[in-house]
Structure 1
Amino acid sequence: MKITIIGLGLIGGSFAKDLRLARFATEFVGVEANKSHAQEALKLGLVDRVEPLEKGIKNSDLVIIAIPVDKELEVLPAVLDGIDRGTTVTDMGSTKKVITELVKSHPRRNQFIAAHPMSGTENSGPTAAIEGLFKGKIAIVCDQENSGPQHLALVEKMFQVLGMDIAYMSSDEQDHSTAFVSHLPHAAAFALANAVQDKEDRSIIFDLASGGFRSTVRLAKSSCSMWKPIFEQNSHYVVNSLDVYIQHLQQFRDCIKNNQFDKLQDLILNANKIRTILEGENPHFIKNEEKIVKLYTKQQ
């Protein structure tokens, strides 16, 4: 099997590492616009070679698009235009509605699987790629009814090999959900980093910064080229999530300002409930390995 990975940063590079370890494919080809990243990816052995887009996707069994979502608006149609009839295409973008609307009428839409692996770090570039990044995490597959079963099965098998659970939802549901659990935390981290840097005596504050602060603000180190277009494409739901967050921040502030510490205690205890939610089993995310294996076998 030949896999072409477009974008050899954290996500694309980590896919290459784990899929190579799993012997999921025999040939890994990279497409990378950044020349230094391309050289790094080759040096690290993430891919066997790097080629231009048109050549790189030819005769490929699976094309994985792992680039910022604004660049994907240009690349995805070009990929669908240039692939062979049997090629499967999937993307890893954090927004989905704009992407799927863009190609909904493309004659090869059924060869495309809109996906989003819920995993990552604040680092970027080929050197940020790590083994096991996706294990135990959730992969969201969107609008699966618009994809051919053999193409869907290949992508499902890929996620299964990586040790991921799969959640199925519409593109709109994906954008709404990730606005709260992914996009909002990044927006909050960016704002917190700016708030602390705005202090006149910030050098003293940074000297006192503990592990708690560092873990909270860690996401603020995330790439602007990746996150600016995410906020642009999912602006409606991101604004909605920020409005809800700001409402709760104001409530917390007002309790402290007005000496309503009994009410503040209730807010903290209610927030503590997140522990049982995060540690509990989620019945909405269920692997159907029998279905995955059967469909995947049909393609062979």
Structure 2
Amino acid sequence: MIKKYDVIIIGAGPGGLTAALYASRANLSVAIVDKGLYGGQMNNTGAIDNYPGFADITGPQLSEKMYQSAMKFGAEYFYADVQQIIVEQQMKKVITEKDEFHAPAVLIATGAVHKHLNIPGEDTYQGRGVSYCAVCDAAFFRNEEIAVIGGGDSAIEEGLYLAQTAKKVTIIHRRNELRAQPVLQKMAFANDKIDFIWNANTEEILGDGSRVTAVKYYDKNAEEQKILNVSGVFIYVGVQANSMAFSNLGICDEHGWIITDDHMQTKVEGIFALGDVRQKDLRQIATAVGEGSIAGQAAYHYLQTLKN
């Protein structure tokens, strides 16, 4: 079945929902398409304390509030898995496993995912001591001992960020040297709150059933398993854009991040991208919301040009 709209938004995280609000408020017909629950990764977050206006709110609660706002002006929501976008002159065809959605403007807000270690305890304690975002969760580990897994730029940057408030940060790395930029390494080595465990493979995240209590790792030098007692584990072994379905469009960089201008426009006219799937530095709810408002308004202006 073919469904026709003015704007199709792929992804229902905070950015996609905000874009839907702005586009539908501009009297455009809007379809939001997502294979999961609206709110995206916010639904996996127990508490959010860095989104303005909400001092104490859970991820699912904020997701519900954003969804209600997004639907207020007539946007429609569809559960579907987008396989591909086909561009035929001004019309874009969004192909899913069930239906086709046609519109002259498409907004991609599919986000990104943190790569997982895929070890016991990681999923069990996600949001209860396991985190992939220091900016989001550092405040919950003030004056506590925590571990950072990884050795690249993100791991060291976030380790330095965490060291501002934590009692101690231990960086566990599988190699005997870091891969981070020299300037970051210098800062980390000079910080007396940061320790390192080298040549170690993290094997399991331990807990008491409700919270993280320790990390089990294999010391390759000593050839034995060891335990590090911590109350939090921050994992930085890579982030991957959810952009595979759009690889045919030529809008991604070599790492899969979508490139846009300041108006969230990609190099394909009428296709915009926003939120964590974009090539950018900070991936937060607040930045996704800001970009969603820009993209929603940019889609409106683009559609106006088609009428002239």
Q: TM-score higher than 0.5 here?
A: no
Higher strand residue share: 2
Relative contact order, CA 8 A, sep 6+: which one is greater? Answer: 2
Higher helix residue share: 1
Q: TM-score, normalising length from structure 2?
A: 0.29
